[in-house]
A = this chain, B = another copy of it.
Amino acid sequence: MAAVDRSLVANVPIFDGLAPEQIDQLLQEAQSMRYPKGTNVFQQDEEAHSFFILLHGHLRVFKLTPDGQQVVVRFVAPGEVFGVAMAIGRKTYPATAVAVVDSIALVWPSAAWPRLVATHPGLAVNTLQTVGNRLQDAHTRVVEMSTEQVERRIAHVLLRLTKQAGRKVEAGVQIDFPITRQDVAEMTGATLHTVSRVLSAWESQGLVEGGRQRIIIREPHKLFMLAEDLPE
């Protein structure tokens, strides 16, 4: 396996504050893996054999309920750690991760985690921050689902997605990976139909621009006002 260059992970927060030699050391234990579009990186309830850093592409992480419904937990963007089940004391993955476009990730065996944190204490501290941020996000989502109606929830999700994976295009800001109305529905606790209706309404107001697996926000500020329930 070719060595992974340190520059690839220069901005990965989990390595913050670690010495370059330490990072090199950690990278030496990782493998780089390709995940073609549509393939699972790991599956819910499967033994948590590995943890990962996404180098390229995008993943969709979702939970499956006993009755077969899916709930999208998040999308993973390049530079993010994922699959840290072992670190938080789980034997199995709590969700499934699937590549929504061809993706590349660094892979470490979970078994190495205890040794890695022992030799690199900063790793646990940084991971704690990462997991903490996710906890914040999850709580934000709970609050939104408890107190906001569907339209505002959709607005919030779109704003977050553009922040995480927005790419400037002529028409506005586009979410930089294929995302369906169904995905948005599964992130907001709404139905596909309602999401479609809301986006159609927004499109006719010039707020967003839709397309198959494509959403462009034309007026981020207006969407923000809507999300926060402020007067225009």
A residues contacting B by CB (< 8 A) are 63, 65-67, 69, 71, 73, 87-90, 94-95, 117-118, 121, 124-125, 127-129, 131-136, 138-139, 141-143, 145-147, 186, 189, 228-229
The answer to whether A65 and B131 have CB atoms under 8 Å apart is no
Which residues of B have CB within 8 Å of A124? 117, 121, 124-125, 128
A73 to chain B: closest residue by CB = B139
A71 vs B133: C-alpha distance in the bound complex, in angstroms?
Answer: 19
A209 vs B203: C-alpha distance in the bound complex, in angstroms?
Answer: 51
A-B contact pairs, 16 of them (CB 8 A): A63-B139, A65-B143, A73-B142, A88-B128, A88-B129, A88-B132, A89-B128, A90-B132, A118-B121, A124-B125, A124-B128, A127-B128, A138-B141, A142-B145, A145-B145, A145-B189
Not counting A89-B132, A131-B132, a sample of 8 additional A-B residue pairs whose C-beta atoms are within 8 angstroms of each other reads: A71-B143, A73-B142, A88-B136, A94-B139, A121-B121, A145-B146, A146-B186, A147-B189
Asked, given contacts A127-B128, A139-B63, whether A146 binds B88 with beta carbons under 8 Å apart, the answer is no
This chain: how many copies in the complex? 2
Residue in contact with A71 in the complex, picked from B94, B127, B147, B229, CB distance below 8 Å: B147
Asked, given contacts A94-B136, A133-B88, A133-B89, whether A63 binds B143 with beta carbons under 8 Å apart, the answer is yes
A68 vs B141: C-alpha distance in the bound complex, in angstroms?
Answer: 17
Which residues of B have CB within 8 Å of A229? 67
Which residues of B have CB within 8 Å of A94? 136, 139
A186 vs B145: C-alpha distance in the bound complex, in angstroms?
Answer: 11
Residue in contact with A146 in the complex, picked from B71, B89, B139, CB distance below 8 Å: B71
Asked, given contacts A67-B229, A121-B121, A121-B124, whether A135 binds B131 with beta carbons under 8 Å apart, the answer is yes
A62 vs B52: C-alpha distance in the bound complex, in angstroms?
Answer: 33
Closest chain-B Cβ to A96's Cβ sits at a distance in Å of 13
Closest chain-B Cβ to A37's Cβ sits at a distance in Å of 25
A147 vs B71: C-alpha distance in the bound complex, in angstroms?
Answer: 8
The answer to whether A142 and B138 have CB atoms under 8 Å apart is yes
The answer to whether B133 and A131 have CB atoms under 8 Å apart is no
